[in-house]
Amino acid sequence: MTALCNPSRSYLFTHETPCAECEVVNDLLLGRGVTMDESLLLGLAHHPQGWEPRDIAALPVAIDNGSDEPSFTWVLQLVDGRWAAVRGWHDYTGWDCQSGLRTEWYATEDDAMRTLVDWERDAVEAARARASGTAPAPPVAHARETGGEAVPGGGGTEGGAAPP
């Protein structure tokens, strides 16, 4: 790889004629095409949390809200047995500008999973459905199958579903 060109801004590399090496670096810096694992590494590089990527024993949940200014959630277990929900965000420029990351500690995976908000739970359910090859039933179809219970465990017809 040739030496990178001079940065035109504090974090982006450019040439008069853009080169492939600069585009790869810029993609990483801006978070374009970056995997969730890479995003966690970049977030930790800019916002150290007192633990390192090598400390991760399990990473059962990695969620990206998919917007131009993404929010991320990772549920992970460290080699010492602790569980964490790690939440981060950055603006459209990537992790090195406007961004944040925080780690919340829990005793068990279930405790960490209980902290997920609606959009995070929806993403986990969708990922599990894709992995199992099944899609979750929409609330009205579920209500018909369960005799009027629109939300599993909900005990009623939430969402406007009527009993069959």
> Length of the chain, please?
164
Tell me how far apart the alpha carbons of residues 20 and 44 are, in angstroms, rounded to a whole number. Answer: 26
Residue 138, domain extent: 117-150
Q: Tokens 């970049």 — which residue?
A: 42
Element (H, E) at 78: strand 71-78
Q: Please give the mean pLDDT across all residues of the chain.
A: 72
Does some domain include residue 140?
Answer: yes
pLDDT tier for residue 95 given thresholds of 50, 70 and 90:
confident
Does some domain include residue 88?
Answer: no
Does some domain include residue 35?
Answer: no
Q: Provide the number of structural domains found in the chain.
A: 1
Does some domain include residue 137?
Answer: yes
pLDDT at 68: 60
Does some domain include residue 82?
Answer: no
pTM (global) more than 0.85: no
Which whole number is the average pLDDT over 69-83? 90
pLDDT tier for residue 158 given thresholds of 50, 70 and 90:
very low
Does some domain include residue 132?
Answer: yes
Does some domain include residue 124?
Answer: yes
Comparing 148 with 124, which gets the higher pLDDT? 124
pLDDT at 39: 85
Which whole number is the average pLDDT over 122-142? 71
Does some domain include residue 133?
Answer: yes
∠ CA 16-45-42, nearest 5°, is 60
Instruction: Say if CB 97 and CB 10 are below 8 A apart.
Output: no
